Chain A
C-alpha cells in the first residue's frame, strides 16, 4: 500500500450549464465527469482516488429545474439535484412517505446533507448508499435523459435494475439521471428504515435495511425489503419478501423472514465489520422493521 497518491489525468474543460438540455448537449460525447453535490466525487477524484476525471467537468448544480419534490396524478417526482437536507425537510414527503425524510435524517453530517444530492447518491452506486435503500422498497424508477439525434430523449428504468456492481450502473456516459419517480404509496403501506454503525452520525452504513408492505387486516402484501452494505449493490431480499407475502406477523414469522433475508444477502468481512455481524444485524433489523419498531 503506497502512501504516494496516484496521478490523475488533467481536466481540459469545465462548464456549468443552467438547463437540462444544455447539460445533455455538453455530455453528449460521453466524455464528461458530472459534478452535483461533490461529496463523493471530490474524494474519488483527488490524487489517489479511484476515479480519474474524464475530459470535461460538467457542474450541473445550477440547473434549478432538477431540484425539488412534486406530485402529479398520483406520481411522486424528486429532482436529481434535490439535496438530502431538502428531503429531510420536505413537508410533502413527510406526509406521503416519511421513510425518505427519516433516512435523510440519518445521512452523514449536516454539512454533507446540505451539499449531497439524491441523484448523486444513486449514481455513486455505493452498496451502502443510504437513499437507495428506502427508494427500492418504494418501487422507485429513475429517469435517464440524453441528447440524441438533436433532441432530448428520456427513458425510465426501475431502480432495481439500475445497479450492476459497486460504483457501476447501466447509465450510459452520455446520460444524466434527471428524476426519481414512484407511485404515491397506498395509505395502508407502512415503510421503515434502520441503519447501524458504531456511532449514529457520519457513518458509512455497516448495514442498513428498509422494509415496506401493505398491511390489511394484519396480513402483509406487496412486501419489499432492501438491504444496504451486504452485497455488491444495495439489494432486495427476495426470498424474505416472497415468504412474507400473505403472512400475519408473529415472532416465528419475523424470525423466519429475518433468517431468509440474511440468506438473501452476500456480505463480506472488511475493516468495518465481519460478514457474521452484518448477517446478525440484518436479522435484528428485519425483526424490528416487522414489529414496526424502526427507532432502533
Chain B
C-alpha cells in the first residue's frame, strides 16, 4: 500500500448534498407532501384593518358536503401566543389588521375550502384605524389592544458616555431622518404546514420552521397543549430567511382544524396570501445625529427610532436589539444615546428577516459615514480607517472584538476597486453635461458572527454514530433550510474521521430524534453547529484511535484517520481499514460501538438589563463597494460592478460561501433599488410578483467577492458566521454611489427610478427657478 498523504477538505469547493435532488426535481418539499386521509385547510382573513366582529354565520359553510370542520374564535379556547402574547390563532371580538384570521375551514379539497369560505357571512362594524406609529402614539388615537395604553409595544434604550458633552466638543454634527421601508422574504415555497393529532392528543406538525425546539414552546400556548406533546418534522423547504423564526397564526389554526376534523390537515398560502399574511421586514424611522472632530474622530451618535409595530408583536419590534449594537459599534463610537419605541398600528406586522435590524441600522450609519467624510473634506476610506476598531477593543455594549480585521477589509475593498481615485473623479464629473452619471460608493458594517445569546442557551446538540461499514450518521439540532449547513457538517466530520463526505448521512428533520438547537438565525449555524459537530467527531475519532492503538500497538497520537484508513500520522503508512477497525471493535470480547454526543454552548453571555454583554462568541465585518450608472432622465440605476470584502474567519465550503454571499447581496440590492411592500391604509397594494419587484437575472451585476480569513479562535476550524452581512451592507453602498454620481441623498429606500427621477427633476427645477 502506498502511503496516504494528509489532505484537508476545509476551504474546498463542495456541492451541497441536497443539490442534485433539488436540481432534478426529486425533492419532496413540504408543499408537495400528501398524507393518507389528509384534508386541506384555508383561512378567512379580515381584509379590513380595524373592525368589530358583530356576527359570524358559518351554518352554510358547515352544511357544505366535503367540509369537515369550520372554526371561529367561539369554537376554541381563548389562548394567546406570540412574542408579545398579544395574538390569537382566530380573532374574536375585533380584527386589528387585514390579515386577521376570522374563520377557518378544513375540507376534502382546496376548492371546497374556497367555496366554504365564500359561504361564511361576517358582519363587521369598522372602527377608526391608525397606520402611522407617530399618530398611534398620540393621545386619543384609536386603541388597538385594550391592555396596551398609548399603543405602546416594546421599547429599548441604551446610553453610554456623555452625548451632550460630546456634542458640545464636536466640530461637525450631522442630523438626518431615515425612513426604511417594508419588504418581505419572498420565499419560493409559500407558507405551508401539515398538522396531525394521534388518538392520545399528541400533535405531529410538519413545519417549515427554522427553530424546531422553541417552536414547540411557542406553539403550545396557542393550542393549550403541553410542548412535550408536539413533534416537529421538517421536510425540505423553499426558503425561510427569518420568516419561519416564529409561530404565525396559520400554524395553530391548522392544528386546531386537524384536532376538530380528527384528520391530518394541510394549509398552504397562495402567493397572494403570502404577500399579505407573511411577516415583513421591520420598517423604522431612524432619526440619527452624529458628531465628529475635525480630524475625523467620531464623537457621538444620538439615535431615536420609531417602529411601526403593526397589529401584533412578532420578532419585528425586537430588532432594536441588533440595531443598537450597530449604532454603538459600527466604528468606534465613544458616546451613544439610543431610544427605540414600537407603537401598535393597524398595519400587518413584521417578523425576523436576514440582517435583523442591521439592514435598517447600517443604512443610517453607513450613509452618515459618507456624509461626515464629505463634510470634513476627508475621503471615506481615511475617515473609515480612522474610526475602525482594532482587535481587542470592547464596544460600549460590551462586545469584545477578537480577531478584528475591519481595517484590512476597508483597505482591501478600496484597493481592489480603486475607490478613492474613482470617487474623486466621479464627484468632479457630477455637474458636467451628460445623461448617464457614474458613481462609486462604499459601506461597511459589523455583525455577530459567533451566534447570539438571546435565549437561555445558544447551543447545539449533535450525535454521531458509525456503522460496521464506516458509514457515519450525524444527528444534529441544526436545521437545513437551504443555507448549506449539511455540506459544512459533512466536511467537518469527514475531516476528523477520515471518511469520504459521501459516506455521511445527516439527520436533522425530526424533533423527536435530533437534540436541541436554538434555531437557524443570527448567522450562527456554521459557527455553533460546526463547533458541535467537530467536538462530537473528535470524541468518535478519539474512541477509534484508542481502539486502533491497541491493535497496532502504537500510541494513539501516532495514528491518523485518512481516506478510510488508519495510518501512521508521521508518514501516512496504512495500518488498518477504518471499516475493519469498526467491525473488530463491535464484534470483540469487549464490544463497543462508536456513538457519541456533544452539546456545544458558545462562550458568550446574554445582555444585562442595560443591554451590555458580550453576546456573541465572534464578530465580523464586511465592506461593500458599488459602482453605478444613473440615467438622470429616467432615474434608472444600473449597478456596473459590486465588490464585497468580508471577514469570514476561515473558508470552510468556498462554493457554499459564494452562494450565500451572492444570494444575500442580491437581496440587499433588491432592498436598495426595487423591493417594497406597499402598504396603504393597512392594505397591501402589491401582493404579487408583478408589482413587487425582486431582482431577476438580468439585473444582477457582476460581483467580485473577497474573503478575509481572520481565523477566529472560537470558530470551527477558525470560521465565523457569514450569512447576514451580505444583505446588510449593499443598500447604503448603492445609496452612497448614487450620491457620488448625482449629488442627491436618498434617506428613504428603495431608490426606484421614479423616486430618483423625481428628486433630480425637483432639484433641477429649483436650480432653474433660482437662475
Of A92-100, A141-149, A268-276, the one with at least 4 CB within 8 A of chain B: A268-276
Scan residues 664-688 of chain B and give those whose CB is less than 8 A from a CB of chain A. Answer: 673-674, 678, 683, 685-686
- Which one of B47, B636, B757 contacts A3 once the chains associate, using CB atoms below 8 Å? B47
Contact partner, B757, options A199, A271, A272, A280, Cβ 8 Å? A280
Q: In the complex, what residues of B have CB within 8 A of residue A272's CB?
A: 691
* Cβ-defined contact, A200 with B691, below 8 A: no
Tell me which residues across on chain A come within 8 A of B683, comparing CB atoms. 1
Chain B residues contacting A47 (CB-CB under 8 Å) are 111, 114
B695 with A1: CB separation less than 8 A: no
A169 at interface by CB-CB < 8 Å: no
Q: Which residues of A contact B673 (CB under 8 A)?
A: 198
Tell yes or no: A73 within 8 A of B by CB.
no
CA distance A296 to B753 in the complex (A): 13
Which residue in chain B gives the minimum CB-CB distance to A276? B758
A271 near B686 with CB under 8 A, answer yes
Q: Using Cβ atoms and an 8 Å threshold, which residues of chain B touch A5?
A: 114
Contact string, A149-171, partner B, CB cutoff 8 A, digits 1/0? 00000000000000000000000
Residues of A239-296 whose CB lies within 8 A of B: 271-274, 276-277, 280-281, 284, 296
- What are the residues of chain A within 8 A of B633 when measuring CB–CB? 284
B669 to chain A, nearest CB (A): 11
Residues from 719 to 771 in B contacting A, C-beta threshold 8 Å:
752-754, 757-758, 761
Closest to A283 in B: B633
Query: What A residues does B686 contact at CB under 8 A?
Result: 271
Contact A3 B45 (CB under 8 A): yes
In the complex, how many angstroms separate the beta carbon of B697 from the nearest chain A beta carbon? 8
Total interface residues on B, CB under 8 Å, equals 40
A7, A204, A280: the one within 8 Å of B690 (CB): A204
B634 & A271 in contact (Cβ 8 Å cutoff): no
Give the chain B neighbours of A198 by CB distance below 8 A.
Answer: 636, 673-674, 693, 752-753
| B634/A284 in contact, CB under 8 A | yes
Interface residues of A in 3-17 (CB under 8 A from B): 3-7
Any chain B CB within 8 A of the CB of A196? yes
Output the least CB separation between B32 and chain A (Å). 20
Contact B47 A2 (CB under 8 A): yes
* Chain B residues whose CB sits within 8 angstroms of the CB of A273 once the complex forms: 754
Q: How many angstroms between the C-alpha atoms of A101 and B704 in the bound complex?
A: 34
How distant is the Cα of A272 from the Cα of B686 in the complex, in angstroms?
9
Say whether B696 contacts A196, CB under 8 Å: no
Asked if A4 and B44 make an inter-chain contact with CB atoms under 8 angstroms apart, the answer reads yes
Instruction: Tell which of A4, A196, A201, A276 touches B118, judged by Cβ atoms closer than 8 Å.
Output: A4
Please give the distance in Å from B477's CB to the nearest CB on chain A. Answer: 36
Q: How far is A213 from B752 in the complex, measured between Cα atoms in Å?
A: 33
Measured CB to CB, the nearest residue on chain A to B752 is A198
A42 interface residue per 8 A CB criterion: no
Our pick among A2, A202, A276, A280 for the contact of B696 (Cβ within 8 Å) is A202
| CB–CB A4/B114 < 8 A | yes
Q: Mark A1-38, 1 if CB is under 8 A from B, else 0.
A: 11111110000000000000000000000000000000
| B residues less than 8 Å from A1 (CB atoms) | 47, 98, 683
Minimum distance in angstroms from B299 CB to a CB of chain A: 39
Decide: A199 and B699 in contact? CB cutoff 8 A.
Answer: yes
> Could you say which residues of chain A place their CB within 8 Å of the CB of B699?
199-200
Contact with B along A184-200 (1 / 0, CB 8 A): 00000000000010111
Distance between B270 CB and nearest chain A CB, rounded to angstroms: 8
* A271 with B691: CB separation less than 8 A: yes
Given A199-B693, A199-B696, A201-B696: A4 and B117 interface contact (C-beta under 8 Å): yes
One digit per residue, 1 when the CB lies within 8 angstroms of any chain A CB and 0 when it does not, for chain B 610-624 equals 000000000000000
A234 CB → nearest B CB, Å: 19
User: Are A277 and B758 within 8 A (Cβ)?
Assistant: yes
CB-CB under 8 A from B631, the residues of chain A are: 296
The answer to whether A201 and B698 touch (CB under 8 A), given A1-B47, A7-B118, A271-B678, is yes
Given contacts A1-B47, A3-B47, contact A274 B118 (CB under 8 A): no
Residues from chain A with a CB closer than 8 A to the CB of B111 are 47
Given known pairs A2-B47, A200-B699, A271-B686, the reply for A7 and B115 (CB within 8 Å) is yes
CB proximity of A289 to chain B, nearest CB, Å: 13
Q: List 8 contacting pairs A-B, 8 Å CB cutoff, sorted by A.
A: A3-B47, A47-B114, A198-B636, A198-B674, A198-B693, A199-B699, A200-B698, A273-B754
Beyond contacts A4-B44, A5-B114: 20 other A-B pairs, Cβ-Cβ < 8 A, are A2-B47, A4-B42, A4-B114, A4-B117, A47-B114, A196-B753, A198-B636, A198-B753, A199-B674, A199-B695, A201-B698, A202-B689, A204-B690, A272-B691, A273-B754, A280-B757, A280-B761, A281-B634, A284-B633, A296-B631
